[in-house]
Amino acid sequence: FRQHPDAFYQLAREMWPGQYKPTPAHYFLRLLHDKGILLRVFTQNIDSLEGQAGLPREKVVQTHGHFDSATCLGTGKPVPIQVVKEAVLAGKWKELRDEYGGLVKPDIVFFGENLPERYGRLRQQDLPKADLLIVMGTSLKVMPFASTMNDVTALVPRLLIN
């Protein structure tokens, strides 16, 4: 990203949240929450569609981050996400960099970066309590999600939906 930021900003312009709507799977998770039987959703997606479907923020762990906030990499300070969105969509990331003192990116996790602390903490806290594990929309090839199936107790049913 630091060497070739233009490629990221081009991709971000194409995939910025708000262009897509939650799917029936997102609303299914909301239904589980509404019925009081959802412990947590761990997602690899960065699109924030769970929130758009009505899931409370505390119920969702966005393992690879999200487009809901942004940070200047040069200063470590938060940058208003609406400002970032407007700059990215207008192709003005250089102006954003100059204004804030460094490259600015949404708080998504790139390959090689550390996952959020909240992910590790809640994974250890929640999965041993689970009485059912539903895994949806993943190949189970990317770590750490590939090992999630082993983080519940042996008697917990696992449902894989792809």
- State the distance between the two ends of the chain, measured CA to CA, in whole angstroms: 31
Token output for 100:
């804030």
CA-derived radius of gyration, the chain: 17
Token output for 77:
């300070």
Task: Look at strands 133-136 and 158-161 and give their pairing.
Answer: parallel
Main-chain phi, psi angles of 13, to 5 degrees:
-60, -40
d(CA 1, CA 106): 12
Indicate the residue type of 35. K
Look up the pTM and report it: 0.85
CB atoms within 10 A of CB 52: 15
pLDDT in tens, 43-94: 988 888 999 999 999 999 999 999 999 999 999 999 999 999 999 999 999 9
Maximum distance among all Cα pairs of the chain, rounded to whole angstroms? 55
pLDDT in tens, 12-49: 888 888 888 999 999 999 999 999 999 999 998 888 89
Our answer to whether residue 64 is catalytic in this structure is yes
Token output for 115:
């996952």
Instruction: Using pLDDT thresholds of 50, 70 and 90, give the confidence band for residue 137.
Output: confident
Q: In the prediction, which pLDDT does 100 show?
A: 96
d(CA 62, CA 1): 20
Q: Average pLDDT over the chain, rounded to whole?
A: 92
Q: In the prediction, which pLDDT does 162 show?
A: 83
Q: In the prediction, which pLDDT does 130 show?
A: 94
pLDDT in tens, 93-117: 999 999 999 999 999 998 888 899 9
Q: In the prediction, which pLDDT does 17 show?
A: 83
d(CA 37, CA 70): 32
Catalytically annotated residue among 4, 26, 33, 64: 64
